[in-house]
Chains A and B, each alone.
Chain A
Amino acid sequence: MLRGKNIIITGTNRGIGKAALTAAAKNGANIWAHARQETAEQKELISALASEHGVEIWPIWLEVTDKEGMKEAVKEIRGGKRPVDALINNAGITYNALFQMSSEENLREQFEVNFFAVYLFTQLISKLMARGGGGSIVSIASSAGIDGNPGKTVYGASKAAVITMSKSISRELGPAGVRANCIAPGITETDMLSSMPKEVVDGQRAAVDLRRAGDPAEIADAAIFLASDYSSFITGQVLRVDGGMR
């Protein structure tokens, strides 16, 4: 689905990002794989995927809030003289706290990582895409960014901001051939889920038509579809990948 394409994925060390990295390699993409920290485990994964699927994977070690580091990374990507066909904005953080219990510090931190960093990185990468004749930007949002969710006020608000950003980008950059879409996962078997209270998770599972949490690979497959030319006439959309949440 992505044979010969060059894509960037952020937050590839675990969860949905790791699944997206695996799926992208499996689908034949060359990948700039971002992660916060260089680890032996991540390096092994990258090496194994590259070798197994015959693709190139270039690691980017970076705190997404490091703006200068981000610029340097983009300079390096640009210097590679390969078109950037797709960007999957996945890196994100969450804290579970009720509205009245959310500290300003956590509020700012979540917006820094989940929105400002995504905004600034997308700003830099979309220039390369526009110059190259187009591309696809896929941002991992959340059903909490559409529906709201107890304990997810700040996280949901930051993801709602990403959704609005994506829709606006679609309108602004569509004429340059740049598509922008979001995926809104529901409950998904990630570290974020295990950080939530069990009774909350059980309640959420019961409210899903399929009566289970999603697998990160199921979210990743949707992201690969939106990154690929198979979705060439889809832009400005939010695709719910939530097993039917009510």
Chain B
Amino acid sequence: MSNLEKYIEAFKTTFELGDESALPALKYQDIEAWDSVGHMALIAELEDAFDIMMDTDDIIDFSSFEIGKEIMAKYDVAL
């Protein structure tokens, strides 16, 4: 599985999404599942998938699917 596939899978698993077509435009709190608790679960899922520990500032800044990609790059995760 490529890094991008793992990244997408983390969103789909955390938010129980069947379809990934809406992901590129997805932002924090766009859907009910991506609330503060969902956000924490998403970060935990990503940290586990890529074996990283994100800094609090990055967790706060992780406000959309696309911005998340830029943040992952800081942890040497190329998507």
Q: Which residues of A come within 8 Å of B, CB atoms?
A: 71, 74-75, 78-79, 123-124, 126-128, 130-131, 172-173, 175-176
Contact = CB atoms under 8 A, between A and B. Distances in A.
A246 to B, nearest CB: 40
Given A78-B47, A172-B36, A130 B41 contact: yes
B37 A128 contact: no
B44 A127 contact: yes
Contacts of B47: 78, 127
Nearest to A123: B56
A131 B45 contact: yes
Interface of B: 36-37, 40-41, 43-45, 47-48, 51, 53, 56
A127 B43 contact: yes
B51 A75 contact: yes
Given A75-B53, A78-B48, A176 B37 contact: yes
Main secondary structure of the interface of B (DSSP, over half): helix
Given A124-B53, A131-B45, 5 more contacts: A78-B47, A79-B51, A127-B41, A173-B40, A176-B40
Contacts, number: 33
A126 B56 CA distance: 13
Given A71-B53, A75-B53, A123-B56, A131 B44 contact: yes
Main secondary structure of the interface of A (DSSP, over half): helix
A126 B40 CA distance: 9
B53 A175 contact: no
A176 B53 contact: no
A176 B40 CA distance: 10
Contacts of A173: 37, 40
Contacts of A123: 56
B53 A130 contact: no
Contacts of B43: 127
Contacts of B40: 126-127, 130-131, 173, 176
Nearest to A178: B37
A131 B41 contact: yes
18 contacts: A71-B53, A74-B53, A78-B47, A78-B48, A123-B56, A124-B53, A127-B40, A127-B47, A128-B44, A130-B37, A130-B40, A130-B41, A130-B44, A131-B45, A173-B37, A173-B40, A176-B37, A176-B40
